């Protein structure tokens, strides 16, 4: 069973990584498409068409399959080690996985809207939204690595600090971009 566990765990991690890669990049493509929609013709039409195509390929060829496969291999791991379901850290991890799935589904909704040229969000909102996956990733990695050694006080303070630092970074980038539109 040890060798099987290694393969299943490796495949789970590979698909988690590719899932996150898609979740990190798709909001960036949303930002590009939203900003392209503000450009004059013919740039607007050319760029929008290209960003829609790039997003569609990323979403359906990488992100969705990776999400499904990461989940299937995770379930397989839990079948191999059902005792993990008794561990408090696993309950918290599964809570974050649930949030990740909700984040993924909201991205899917945004994807469908943008494919119809239905723009409901600003590029600044999307820059902030893009950090959702980062916060979930940090939380899950620390939970999995530290398990029972994870201190709730430090963990909560760390996640809040990370969120604040990300927001400050976005504001700083916006200032730099407003001063120099080529940045």
The answer to whether 114 and 33 have CB atoms below 8 angstroms apart is yes
Q: Which residues are annotated as a binding site for heme?
A: 12, 93
The residue range of the domain holding 169 is: 2-179
Distances in Å between the Cα of 103 and the Cα atoms of 107, 132, 181 are: 6, 7, 30
Prediction pTM value: 0.85
pLDDT at residue 147, rounded to an integer: 80
Task: Check whether 149 has a pLDDT greater than 80.
Answer: no
Task: Check whether 162 has a pLDDT greater than 60.
Answer: yes
User: Picking from 66-70, 85-89, 152-156, which range would have the lowest pLDDT averaged per residue?
Assistant: 152-156
Q: Which residues are annotated as a binding site?
A: 12, 93
Instruction: Say how far apart CA 145 and CA 109 lie, in whole Å.
Output: 32
* Total domain count, the chain: 1
């Amino acid at each position: 069973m040890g060798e099987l566990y290694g393969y299943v765990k490796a495949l789970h991690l590979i698909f988690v990584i590719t899932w996150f890669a898609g979740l990190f990049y798709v909001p960036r493509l949303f930002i590009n498409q939203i900003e392209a929609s503000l450009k004059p013709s013919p740039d607007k039409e050319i760029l929008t068409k290209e960003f829609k195509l790039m997003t569609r390929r990323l979403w359906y060829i990488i992100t969705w399959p990776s999400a499904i496969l990461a989940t299937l291999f995770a379930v397989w791991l839990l079948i191999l080690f059902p005792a993990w379901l008794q561990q408090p850290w696993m309950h918290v991890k599964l809570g974050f996985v649930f949030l990740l799935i909700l984040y993924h589904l909201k991205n899917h909704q945004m994807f469908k809207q943008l494919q119809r040229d239905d723009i409901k969000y600003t590029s600044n909102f999307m820059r902030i939204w893009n950090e959702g996956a980062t916060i979930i990733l940090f939380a899950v990695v620390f939970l999995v690595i530290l398990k029972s050694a994870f201190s709730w006080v430090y963990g909560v303070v760390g996640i809040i600090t990370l969120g604040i630092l990300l927001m400050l970074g976005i504001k700083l980038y916006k200032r730099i971009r407003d001063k120099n539109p080529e940045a």
